[in-house]
Structure 1
Amino acid sequence: MNQVTEHLPDAKFRCFSDVDVQGVEVVPLRYGWPGWWAKMELFRPELPDDWLFFDLDTSIVGSLADMAAVEGPVIMRECWWPGGFQSSIMAIPQSIKAAVWEAFTAAPDDHMQRFASDQEFLESCREVNWRLWEDICPGQLCSYKLDVQRLGRVPAGVRAVVFHGKPRPWEVGW
């Protein structure tokens, strides 16, 4: 939260969680979906507003103004497989929530069996014309594993560093 408010001072910060977080507006998770599947609750149509979503293990290292100005839907390119999606950072406009929500909640157990992740499910949502952050805000996102570890530093111009899997930011002193 501190990193977001430092780099996007006027942001309204909300945390989707199944526990209370002191000093943070919490949007309660209602469905008990495991792991990354809980992200599907971002698409609950009754929740107002457009979202600029970051996984909690994303480190914000620069201004988010460009990303906040983008009109969604926008998602990251998969770090390991460039043809897929990475859901660590998403712009989710209110206009797509109902379509994604209805598609997923029609058969959530089936989707969780059929797709390896929320990311694969989102790829299958053909009614959503996802654009990629890497095309809209080039050079502003990077992977800790693929970029920072290899270079020994955060590349110039990067605003957000994605930690996908291990290590986590707190395990490397971030």
Structure 2
Amino acid sequence: MRLEAGVSAHLGIPHRFVCLTDMHVLCDMVPLEEGWPGWWSKMELFRADIAGDLLYFDLDTIITGDLSDMASIGRLAIMRDVYRPDGLQSSVMFIPEAVRKQVWEVFTEDPAHYMAQYSCGGDQAFLELLWLGKAAIWQDVLPGQVQSYKAAHMAERGVPDNCRAVIFHGRPKPRDIGWKL
């Protein structure tokens, strides 16, 4: 898996790479349990049985450089949405264990309600409810290290030198442009 290889190559500290999935993968995995559809399955990151602080990447993220700054941030961090500057984007997050309980408790009070209420914005719109104005924003604390393939026009300009993680939201996906996962 390309994401695991990228993290292993660019994270210079001991770590455990885990894939949260309902599919068979060739890495350590934590099985999904709730059966929530699509992006809502990401809410399982907040389960109590998943211990420790998490540096989270969507599976279609391409790691392009040293991740030590991101791994050592030590506080809640998430992306600013690349198209909605007043919103959040959950493609890359640092989630301290201490903040996960609140997200889990609120969401699991009534998952169907939140999935319906935030059907357009999904998990990241739900996270805005709890984290907007409270979380560090990657683009502010580590400028240029997390970038969108589309918004940064990488097809025309290439990957900027200071970029550490390239996110793919919507189309294209890495496989569509020849970056294999």
Q: Shorter-normalised TM-score: what interval?
A: over 0.9
2:44 maps to which residue? 41
1:125 maps to which residue? 130
2:170 maps to which residue? 165
Report the Cα offset of residue 11 of structure 1: 2.5
Structure 1: 4+ residue segments shifted above 4 A = none
Report the Cα offset of residue 152 of structure 1: 2.2
Aligned residue pairs, count: 173
Which of these residues, 98, 103, 106, is aligned with residue 95 of structure 1? 98
Report the Cα offset of residue 126 of structure 1: 5.4
Residue pair 1:144, 1:162 contacting (<8 A) in 2 also = yes
Ranges in structure 2 where 5+ consecutive residues have no aligned partner: none
Residue pair 2:150, 2:168 contacting (<8 A) in 1 also = yes
**Is 2:16 aligned against 1:16?**
no
Aligned pairs for 1:79-90 within 5 A: 79-90=82-93
Distance 2:156 2:68 in 1: 26
Distance 2:132 2:6 in 1: 33
**Is 2:72 aligned against 1:69?**
yes
Distance 2:15 2:131 in 1: 30
Measured on the aligned residues, the alpha-carbon RMSD in Å equals 1.5
**Is 2:132 aligned against 1:134?**
no
Distance 1:146 1:127 in 2: 21
Distance 1:120 1:146 in 2: 19
Residue pair 1:17, 1:29 contacting (<8 A) in 2 also = yes
Q: Report sequence identity in percent.
A: 45
Residue pair 2:39, 2:123 contacting (<8 A) in 1 also = yes
The one-letter code matched in structure 1 to 2:146 is: L
The one-letter code matched in structure 1 to 2:178 is: G
The one-letter code matched in structure 2 to 1:156 is: D
Ranges in structure 1 where 5+ consecutive residues have no aligned partner: none
Deviations 1:127-149 (A, max 9, x none): 98211111111111111011143
Residue pair 1:73, 1:90 contacting (<8 A) in 2 also = yes
Report the Cα offset of residue 72 of structure 1: 2.1
